[in-house]
């Protein structure tokens, strides 16, 4: 179900996270961020700065040590957020159709209806003809397309993606980025995507959140001005090159700091 644009889907209010243990690790410090419903936010930052932790807190897989997240997403019988991870996002014992229909199966949607929806999303990610195939019979890129189709097919109003394209080869990744842009432009779910690739963040996002070295703080929030629909061709423009450089300059000190302290 598309969400109402203009409202706030997630309000992150002074969130900090400390992992307790022998040596406590402060992953996040004082994060304040507002995510509009139907917006696409990309998070970039050095390794270990708490990006995944923030995503997990948004999706209720982790709790904040301090502060809170106010979630304002339409409630229904499906989970408010669907996750896509870098790998291991599909069930090896299910075929493609069963994998993509899984979310609606959990939501007790009837078999015929959920399979019809699943076939639609399988077609959207270009996997028609592979409905009966099992993940081990497919390439890594195809498996990742199943994970993305499944996330869309759950009907959740928000998608939380952690490096969803990170394990793909460069060409497949570029095609998948375009596919993701197209799917999102049609559906306008509230998406938060963690990536290490600045180009990917610029191609996909409405805003890019640059995080500092651990403990992760928000260093900068950059609005991405490129009009939609977007295609990878924008990567050849002068404005794109200029923004990529500016974001890299903002990130470079943080990456260096994270290498010093890790
Ligand atoms: N369950 C946990 N217990 C203890 N420490 C944790 C746990 N999860 C994450 N951390 C620590 O919290 C910090 C942030 O981890 P997180 O995975 O959120 O970073 P990240 O920015 O996503 O990293 P990367 O880009 O390398 O995936 C790291 O120092 C990590 O070791």
- Scanning 50-197, the segments in alpha helix (DSSP H) are 51-58, 96-106, 111-124, 140-153, 170-187
Residue 49 CA, ligand 1 centroid: distance in Å: 7
User: What is the per-residue pLDDT for 261?
Assistant: 60
Amino acid 161: pLDDT: 95
**How many angstroms separate the alpha carbon of residue 58 from the centre of ligand 1?**
15
3-state SS assignment for residue 74: coil
If you search the block for the tokens 């203009």, which residue do you land on? 6
Q: Could you read off the pLDDT of 8-48 as tens digits, one per residue?
A: 999 999 999 999 989 999 999 999 999 999 999 999 999 99
Q: Report the largest interatomic distance among the alpha carbons of the chain, rounded to a whole angstrom.
A: 55
What whole-number distance in Å separates Cα of residue 151 and Cα of residue 100? 8
Low pLDDT (below 70) residues in the chain: 1-6, 88, 261-262
Nearest CA to ligand 1 atom 6: 19
Is 213:254 a contact under the CB 8 Å cutoff? yes
Whole-number pLDDT of residue 229: 87
197 lines ligand 1 (CB under 6 A): no
Give me the DSSP letters along 102-126: HHHHHTT--HHHHHHHHHHHHHHTT
State the Cα torsion 235-238-239-245 to the nearest 10°: 80
* pLDDT of 4: 54
The two tokens of residue 232 are: 């990878």
The H or E element spanning position 239 is helix 238-261
Kindly report each contact of residues 120-124 with a partner whose C-beta sits within 8 Å and lies 24 or more positions away, as own/partner: 120/153, 121/149, 121/150, 121/152, 121/153, 122/96, 122/97, 122/149, 124/149, 124/152, 124/179, 124/183
In this predicted structure, what is the pLDDT of residue 108?
A: 84
CA 205 vs CA 18, 33, 130: distances in Å:
28, 15, 30
- Antiparallel, parallel or unpaired: β 207-211 and 190-194: unpaired
User: With a 6 A CB cut-off, is 19 part of the ligand 1 pocket?
Assistant: yes
Whether residue 44 has its Cβ less than 6 Å from ligand 1? no
Which H/E stretch holds residue 251?
Answer: helix 238-261
């Amino acid at each position: 179900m598309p969400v109402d644009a203009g409202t706030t889907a997630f309000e992150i209010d002074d969130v900090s996270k400390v992992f307790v243990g022998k040596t406590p690790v402060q992953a996040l410090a004082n994060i304040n961020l507002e995510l509009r419903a139907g917006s696409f936010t990309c998070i970039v930052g050095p390794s270990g700065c708490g990006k995944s932790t923030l995503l997990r807190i948004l999706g209720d897989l982790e709790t904040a040590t301090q502060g809170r997240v106010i979630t304002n997403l339409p409630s229904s019988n499906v989970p408010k957020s669907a996750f896509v991870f870098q790998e291991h996002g599909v069930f090896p014992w299910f075929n493609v159709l069963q994998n993509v229909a899984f979310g609606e199966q959990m939501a007790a949607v009837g078999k015929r209806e959920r399979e019809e929806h699943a076939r639609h999303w399988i077609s959207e990610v270009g996997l028609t003809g592979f409905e009966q195939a099992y993940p081990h019979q497919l390439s890594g890129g195809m498996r990742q397309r199943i994970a993305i189709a499944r996330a869309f097919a759950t009907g959740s109003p928000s998608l939380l993606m952690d490096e969803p394209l990170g394990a793909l080869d460069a060409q497949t990744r570029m095609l998948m980025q375009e596919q993701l842009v197209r799917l999102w432009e049609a559906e306008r779910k509230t998406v938060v995507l963690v990536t290490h690739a600045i180009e990917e963040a610029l191609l996909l996002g409405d805003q890019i959140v640059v995080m500092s070295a651990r403990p992760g703080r928000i260093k900068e929030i950059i609005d991405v001005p490129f009009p939609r629909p977007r295609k990878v061709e924008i990567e050849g423009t002068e404005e794109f090159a200029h923004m990529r450089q500016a974001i890299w300059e903002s990130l470079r000190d943080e990456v260096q700091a994270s290498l010093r302290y890790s």
